[in-house]
């Protein structure tokens, strides 16, 4: 069975393989905004984009009452930044897959 699967994978061109890798690993705008909408106060959308440091800061700020106000404003600003983050992440992924 694995021999048959190996044969199928070997028959795929490198361009098709690169496209499959890109499609499997690219970030989704829908997922990003779902994280932002439902778990944005906890920084879930920032974790999704790999912005771990600021996501942890947002998470810690959410625990405090005054920090929650700051986090809410931060979350609203993030809503406008998500498309740029998405474009940047996916462009970087495409460049990484394409190689030098």
Domains of the chain, by residue range, sit at 14-98
Average pLDDT, the chain: 90
Q: Please state which of the ranges 2-6, 30-34, 63-67 shows the lowest mean pLDDT.
A: 2-6
Residue 71, burial from CB neighbour count under 10 angstroms (0-12, 13-18, 19+):
buried
Q: For residue 47, how far is the Cα from the chain centroid?
A: 8
Measured distance between the N- and C-terminal CA atoms of the chain, rounded to whole angstroms:
35
Please, which pLDDT band fits residue 8 given cuts at 50, 70 and 90? low
DSSP per residue, the chain: -HHHHHHHHHTS-HHHHHHHHHHHH---HHHHHHHHHHHGGGTHHHHHTT-HHHHHHHHHHHHSHHHHHHHHHHHHHHHHHHHHHHHHHHHHHHHHHH--
Token pair of 83 as six digits: 């498309």
Tell me the whole-structure pTM to 2 decimals.
0.83
Q: Is 52's pLDDT higher than 60?
A: yes
Return the pLDDT at 9.
58
Query: 53-100, pLDDT tens digit by residue?
Result: 999 999 999 998 889 999 999 999 999 999 999 999 999 999 999 887
């Amino acid at each position: 069975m694995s021999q048959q699967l190996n044969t199928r994978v070997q028959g795929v061109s490198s361009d098709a393989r690169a496209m499959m890798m890109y499609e499997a690993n690219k970030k989704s705008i829908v997922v990003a905004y779902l994280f932002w909408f439902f778990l944005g106060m906890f920084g879930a959308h920032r974790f999704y984009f790999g912005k771990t440091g600021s996501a942890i800061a947002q998470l810690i700020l959410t625990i405090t009452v005054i920090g929650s106000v700051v986090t809410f404003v931060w979350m609203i600003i993030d809503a406008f930044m998500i498309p740029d983050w998405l474009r940047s992440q996916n462009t970087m992924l495409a460049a990484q897959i394409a190689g030098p």
